[in-house]
Amino acid sequence: MKVKFIVALIMTIFVLGGCAMNNDKESKSSSANEAKEFPDVAAFEDEFTREFLESTQPTREGYYSFLSKTGAYKMDFPEGMKINDKSYSIDPDKNSEVVIFSSQNSNGTFIDHHVEYYSFINDPQHGRDQIEGRVGVEIKFEEVPSNYDQKLEIAEYEYENSSGIVSLITKDGVDGQIQTFSSLRCSNDVEENVCKQQIEDEKAEIKKWLKSIHLISKESE
Amino acid sequence: MSEDIISGSEFKTRLIDLGYKDLSLKELELNIRQIYMEENGELLEADIEILKSSDIESDFVKDSGYDGIAIHINTVEKEEVYVISEGTQDLPDWLYNIKAMLAGQTIKQAQATDVFVQEAKEHFNVDDNVKVNGLSHSLAHNNNTIALLSFDNVYSVNGAQLNYYQLFNTDFRFNDAVKNEFSFNTDDEVYNLSPQDLHDFAMTYYGDKADKIDQVISTDDPLYAVSVVRGFFTLGSITMVDTNPDVPGLRELIADIPDDVIKDFQELAIDFAVASNQGGTNEGIKELIGIDVGAFKDKEGMELAGHIIANYDTMVRALNEKLPPLLDRVQTVTANSDEIFGSLEEAGYITERQKEVTVDHLTRIEKSLIDIENILKDNVNLRDKLNNPFLGAGNEIVTILRLASNLVEIYMSYVEIEKTGILKRLESIKDSHGLQEMLSSMSDGLKSYIGADMIYTSTSTKGEPIKVNISAALRMYQKSIPILEAKSTKISNFEKAIKDELDESYKDEKRKVQDEIDQVESSPSSYRFLLSKHGYYPTFNKEIKSIRVHEIFYPLEDNDFDEQLEELKKSVESGKLYIEKYRQAIEDLFEEEENVSQLFDLSRRI
């Protein structure tokens, strides 16, 4: 029986040829070498964050082009920040994606951005309610002009030791929406007045940054 | 605050169970009324409106994976909404959710739950003053409690617990409070905190929410057992129930095993359990190694070789993909197999022999997996070197032979493990996560449950107590009457048909003949032509003065169905009698104050 087994195997091998097993992974050259070619900023130093960045050419000073893994949106990514792979999540059917990124070294202000995409939430009112629910204080959304053909609504809130800016991005004719949450806080050693000023400056910068987030309509892909 | 319309663990659990059945809106409503009547001994005098998540926007369920039912109950004095969340049913989505939840990541399902609740409130046109109650099982508990803002309270059975990393990323006030408490500045630092400190802080922080959450948990629930790992905290008023008294529950066993070992075992177990839940043990194995070992069954020698060769390509591809993560996890498990299977044995989940065979064969499987990994590696390296996918038959032969012999070894080990019956033993663990085992252990006086049916136990007779499935009895009683009535209608239709088709048409025909006769008799002159055969010449002057018909109508025969009709009618009567006797027999088993009689009466009015 054993002999037959082997004969059958050998016979079949010629039929099969070499068609089996061809998913060799592309061999990656050592990342240490590659890293040298990247801009010397926190975003590119982190391997996980790098996976999202489309180009080493900045889109404007301090920002690089980011493409979400769902392919649902693009935005400018701040060079001094890093995506936390532990809290990153994307569902298997690419219907939702949560990206959380934080400042790495700071001049006294620390920022966390949460950019969350949901393909199944369409109603802007639902989005606004959810955002308000999650920040837990009453907020007022204001529509601001966006760089793209979409609707950008922004609201601000204050906690005792930190402040935040949230936004909702929707687009007529495109399913889904983006909800963003940015929180800002000063380190303990910063004086209150200085902190206030820094936060104000950063807020202005964040408002500018929010305009770079844009939903990609599936048709235009 | 006055009592909710739907109260009691049993009622709520049965309602959650209802959510898993694929019922139409009408069926759902009837079932809700039925359960209400059984549990409360009175009819639910209220309007019921129901919305299924599948009935809102077309892509919502498909994209979000959320499956739920919202029920709006309006008794005029009181209005409430109940939302039954089933979590996810789709397999990959379920896996994603539970893994992401274990890692403290996903809030997708909570967001989806929230959208559904909002949609439901709009659909029912209720404002924020109307109480919204969340009912959930398993994963849905996690979603419902995260989405607690949408709910006034949450009741859950065997729920997946809250995870404080998940909440840190979801609830920004909590996020802020944690940063203040532990003096750090950015989100990624949260993973550096001591899990115990974070756990304790979360418990205190969310303390005030605890009274909005009611949970019933089986001590044997595997999901409860795994929530001992870092990240989870159990919030709310908890009722622990030992649903499987034969075993002590897994949680204590798991508490002794290191965190990362649990994680690996957990993932193996989740993959295996979920896949085998869908397609049996073979499907479970297939999920793990990517190969359908079930197809090896009953094959040996040539046939087995033929099968392996025929599927060689698919197998290698599947192995290549599934192997590395599997090997990692298997190695963690084998490295700790004495602890894991030792404590399972100690606790009585498995026998000593089952333990020994399993540990032995797991080690062999590990060896084979390492072998396979090396073979695949060599093969790939060689291809790289030669830069040629056609490696030459010689090399492929060796590869195939080595792979095949390892696969056969794995399969043999699997067969040996399976033979011990350990997999079947472990499957009973899964039952402890279900609603029905929970319901079965809920009993209140003479009331208990089998499946989702309510059981009454009679003690009024001497000897062994008699258990009566009241739900089934009521269903039979309720449904028999419409059936008997339908039969009755058919019988009278039949009776009418006999009358129409036989009696009436006989009369009809008779009348037609009589009309003809009358016509002939009343105008005899018009029948003069009948005399024509007697001649036509001019002197002919005979005429007909009168015609008399001497008619005889024979009566219609064989048209008497009275006897048969009587028989049929009797069968309906005896059917009714039988049902009433059956009802009486059940009533007699119970005391009057147990109101069984009333339940029968009410069941007719639903």
Question: Does residue A76 belong to any structural domain of this protein?
Answer: no
Q: Identify the pLDDT of residue B493.
A: 93
What's the complex ipTM? 0.84
Q: Identify the pLDDT of residue B595.
A: 84
Q: Identify the pLDDT of residue A220.
A: 46
Contact B293, B285 (CB under 8 A): yes
Query: What DSSP letter does each residue of A16-75 carry, written as one string?
Result: HTT-S---PPPPPPPHHHHHHHS-SSHHHHSHHHHTTEEEEEEEETTEEEEE-TTSSEEE
Question: Does residue A25 belong to any structural domain of this protein?
Answer: no
User: What 3-state class would DSSP assign to B239?
Assistant: strand
CA distance B112 to A71: 20
Question: Does residue A102 belong to any structural domain of this protein?
Answer: yes
Q: Identify the pLDDT of residue B604.
A: 84
Show residues of chain A in contact with B107, CB under 8 Å.
98
Query: A175 vs B320: CB contact, 8 Å cut-off?
Result: no
Check whether A26 has a pLDDT greater than 50: no
CA distance B447 to B354: 38
Over the stretch A90-122, which tens digit does the pLDDT of each residue have? 887 889 999 999 999 777 799 999 999 999 999
Q: What is the mean pLDDT of chain B?
A: 82
Which residue does chain A place closest to B382, by CA atoms? A24
What is the number of other CB atoms lying within 10 angstroms of the CB of residue B503? 12
- Minimum-distance CB partner of A100 among B169, B183, B309: B169
Shortest CA gap A25–chain B (Å): 9
Question: Does residue A116 belong to any structural domain of this protein?
Answer: yes
Show residues of chain A in contact with B67, CB under 8 Å.
none
Shortest CA gap A36–chain B (Å): 25
Amino acid at B526: S
Q: Identify the pLDDT of residue B293.
A: 59
Percentage of chain B exceeding pLDDT 90:
30
Please, is B101 exposed, middle or buried when counting C-beta atoms within 10 Å of its C-beta (0-12, 13-18, 19+)?
Answer: buried
DSSP β-bridge partners for residue A113: A101, A182
Over the stretch A143-199, which tens digit does the pLDDT of each residue have? 999 889 999 999 999 998 899 999 999 998 888 999 999 999 998 888 889 999 999
Question: Does residue A110 belong to any structural domain of this protein?
Answer: yes
Show residues of chain B in contact with A22, CB under 8 Å.
389
Over the stretch B158-185, which tens digit does the pLDDT of each residue have? 988 888 988 999 999 999 999 999 999 9
Question: Does residue A50 belong to any structural domain of this protein?
Answer: no
What stretches of B459-546 show up as alpha helix (H) in DSSP?
A: 470-498, 505-522
Mean pLDDT check: name the lowest of A106-115, B81-90, B553-562.
B81-90
What integer is the mean pLDDT of B197-220?
92
- Minimum-distance CB partner of B400 among A9, A84, A96: A9
Check whether B32 has a pLDDT greater than 90: yes
Query: B93 vs A91: CB contact, 8 Å cut-off?
Result: yes
- Minimum-distance CB partner of B59 among A6, A100, A175: A175
Query: B302 vs A187: CB contact, 8 Å cut-off?
Result: no
Reading the block at residue B190, the tokens are: 């949260």
Check whether A7 has a pLDDT greater than 70: no
pLDDT band at B336 (very low <50, low <70, confident <90, very high): confident
Query: A84 vs B176: CB contact, 8 Å cut-off?
Result: no
Question: What contacts A86, CB < 8 A, 6 or more positions away?
Answer: B103, B104, B105, B188, B191
A&B contacts, CB < 8 Å: 174
Show residues of chain A in contact with B397, CB under 8 Å.
9-10, 13
Question: What contacts A80, CB < 8 A, 6 or more positions away?
Answer: A41, A42, A43, A62, A103, A104, A105, A106
Show residues of chain A in contact with B59, CB under 8 Å.
119-120, 175
Contact A133, B128 (CB under 8 A): no
Over the stretch A125-143, which tens digit does the pLDDT of each residue have? 999 999 999 999 999 999 9
What integer is the mean pLDDT of B502-510?
89
- Minimum-distance CB partner of B185 among A114, A160, A187: A187
Contact A5, B299 (CB under 8 A): no
Question: What contacts B142, CB < 8 A, 6 or more positions away?
Answer: B101, B109, B110, B159, B160, B161, B162, B163, B166
Amino acid at B586: I
What integer is the mean pLDDT of B228-242?
85
Closest CA to A18 of B7, B394, B247: B394
CATH of B9-241, one of 3.30.70, 1.10.760, 3.40.50, 3.20.20: 3.40.50
Show residues of chain B in contact with A187, CB under 8 Å.
185
Q: Identify the pLDDT of residue B504.
A: 87
Shortest CA gap A127–chain B (Å): 9
CA distance A211 to A146: 5
pLDDT band at B98 (very low <50, low <70, confident <90, very high): low
CA distance B67 to B93: 12
Reading the block at residue A57, the tokens are: 């050419």
Question: Does residue A175 belong to any structural domain of this protein?
Answer: yes
Check whether B320 has a pLDDT greater than 90: no
Contact A126, A105 (CB under 8 A): no
Show residues of chain A in contact with B111, CB under 8 Å.
96, 118, 121, 130
Sheet strands side by side (includes B79-85) = B47-52, B68-74, B79-85, B131-137, B153-157, B213-218, B237-241
Helix, strand, coil % (nearest 5) of chain B? 65, 10, 25
Query: B389 vs A162: CB contact, 8 Å cut-off?
Result: no
Query: B401 vs A96: CB contact, 8 Å cut-off?
Result: no
- More confidently predicted of B44 and A87: B44
Query: A95 vs B60: CB contact, 8 Å cut-off?
Result: no
Q: Identify the pLDDT of residue B395.
A: 62
As for how many domains chain A has, the answer is 1
Q: Identify the pLDDT of residue B312.
A: 65
Q: Identify the pLDDT of residue A184.
A: 96
Look up the CATH number of the domain holding residue A121.
3.40.1000
Domain containing A168 equals 84-220
Which residue does chain B place closest to A2, by CA atoms? B301
Show residues of chain A in contact with B310, CB under 8 Å.
12
For an interface test with B, the pick among A6, A7, A14, A91 (most B C-beta atoms closer than 10 Å) comes out as A91
N- to C-terminal Cα separation, chain B? 29
Show residues of chain A in contact with B380, CB under 8 Å.
21, 24
Mean pLDDT check: name the lowest of B39-53, B407-421, B549-563.
B407-421
Query: A9 vs B320: CB contact, 8 Å cut-off?
Result: no
Mean pLDDT check: name the lowest of B70-84, B499-513, B532-546.
B532-546
What is the number of other CB atoms lying within 10 angstroms of the CB of residue B393? 15
Question: Does residue A114 belong to any structural domain of this protein?
Answer: yes
CA torsion through residues B359, B362, B366, B371, sign: positive
pLDDT band at B534 (very low <50, low <70, confident <90, very high): confident
CA distance B194 to B163: 14
Q: Identify the pLDDT of residue A8.
A: 39
Reading the block at residue B503, the tokens are: 């009696």
Show residues of chain B in contact with A92, CB under 8 Å.
92-93, 96
| Cα separation values, B468 from A119, B83, B458, Å | 50, 31, 8
Query: B180 vs A161: CB contact, 8 Å cut-off?
Result: yes
Closest CA to B272 of B444, B417, B479: B417
pTM: 0.77
Over the stretch B585-604, which tens digit does the pLDDT of each residue have? 999 888 877 788 899 989 88
Q: Identify the pLDDT of residue A32.
A: 44
